[in-house]
Chains A and B, each alone.
Chain A
């Protein structure tokens, strides 16, 4: 099991952070988490994170939205209360389809967008009134924090972090 001691290294520039992350990882240290005030372009690749699968879910959610729209309008406009659409009383879904396309499109987007947000919240374990997890409030302002697992190489790691441009390094005992 990993030790319960971690190093918090603070950076004040995203470019410095990005190169620091690359050096830390190349020295075989394990980065637990990086806290940033804004999304840093390329950080996910530098951290070696797996690609997100949310795009696949977005496609599936969109398809669900499309199906819901078709089923809904078929029931409302054709079956339950047949409507004369645009002076063309054909009472067929297919022949009235041009009129339904905007709704089909909107529902596709609606489902994809909302379900994607919900998925994102669930996967990031976020919910309303959740207490913030970031260890240093400066990361909500203009500083970047890298949390690294600490074993018995305290000195080597600290000097590596200093060299990489960290403005502050602290060692934290985690309470389990």
Chain B
């Protein structure tokens, strides 16, 4: 290593990232090729699936019944009246069901790629918010981590463009992720028809482009000022960065909320939750902070960032711990109010998840709350890299499951499993994320040496 301030992207890591992308691409291709193209194919798939997995199915659903029998008793009435209405259609009902399952299976690879694309995009957006908070708060402890954060936010633009392209493909009816985009559906659905003033394709895509443009503009200028500050004699660039960061945070908290309604909540256009934006924010915030911690520890283990000490890692650990609890608070607030009031149009959201997604739904609470709570509670453990890495990997996988649980139930119903497309999607975007982020890290010195708080940050100790 000639210059410890300049990072060189090792070939090994580059090849690993490319290997992830290749394997992920193959998995996705396999997922798309095996998705049914016609209703007949889908019927055949369901038949073989049921034959093969009949036993397992019985077990998991009976476990689900035990925990949710309280729900079931109440919602049964509502469901039955639905069924009676459907029964009057007679044979039409079976065909409708087959078509429904076909759409779900056809959606599956799309939902898999969308969940993974959104998850990695969300990490970089969460880091951007964390970075802006450090700038706006003029934090003294974190400037040593600015270049790591700037590296991660480099993924914002490519990751965001991929998400928007996927949204655009949905609006071209290549899949049925967003059923409100289908005029056929809207024509027969009073509730969605009432929302078309907001939920219509042109406005939806325009919002998406506007949001991404706003976030990317902030990222572009903040990075520019940050690099310019390295060489400058005064702190004018630092001050500019402070101002645009404060402005960005106002823009961000509004647009992030709307983005969460648009890109995730509208997959289930009948359902709504007023704290959904905050809930997605907590998820992206904790994933972003975890990504900062993991990449910092990785770089330190390779001999870079020798100015980052245990206390910085300790503080990142505190944030991982604290925001994990914050996420749980929002998760539970959303769940408890809906569970308590038991209003049919709201409670269906959780009934689907508890009945058909029991393991991922409750498994995610263990991964995102109980595990980090117990592992990171002890102050000393937050200074041990091994514990941070272990907790971090579980938190990141847990929040992928969170995104999975937000998207899949509305997109594919009970036809889910973690298959080639899901793993492939995750690996592909992981590879792309690593590639873009580490490429960006090579472009500037790892120490933002011109920052007026750098001295304080380097001396920072607990």
Contacts and interface: CB of A to CB of B under 8 A. Distances in A.
Interface residues of A, number: 14
Contacts of B336: 98-99, 101-102
B335 A98 contact: yes
Contacts of B69: 90, 95
Contacts of A90: 69-70
A88 B377 contact: no
Contact of A87 (B67, B332, B342): B342
A86 B340 contact: yes
Contacts, number: 32
A87 B339 contact: no
Contacts of A98: 332, 335-336, 339-340
5 contacts: A86-B340, A87-B342, A88-B70, A88-B73, A98-B336
Q: Interface of chain B, helix or strand or loop or mixed?
A: helix
Contacts of B73: 88
A64 B341 CA distance: 31
B342 A55 contact: no
Interface residues of B, number: 16
Given A98-B336, A99-B340, A87 B379 contact: no
Chain A CB count within 10 A is highest, among B70, B336, B378, for B70
A169 B335 CA distance: 64
B458 to A, nearest CB: 17
B377 A86 contact: no
Contact of B332 (A59, A92, A94, A101): A101
B74 interface: yes
Contacts of A99: 336, 340
A150 B318 CA distance: 43
B377 A87 contact: no
Contacts of B74: 87-88
B377 to A, nearest CB: 7
Interface string B364-380: 00000000000001110
A95 B70 contact: yes
Interface in A65-91: 86-88, 90
Given A86-B339, A90-B70, 8 more contacts: A86-B341, A88-B71, A88-B342, A95-B67, A95-B69, A98-B332, A99-B340, A102-B336
Interface string B336-350: 100111100000000
A92 B71 CA distance: 13
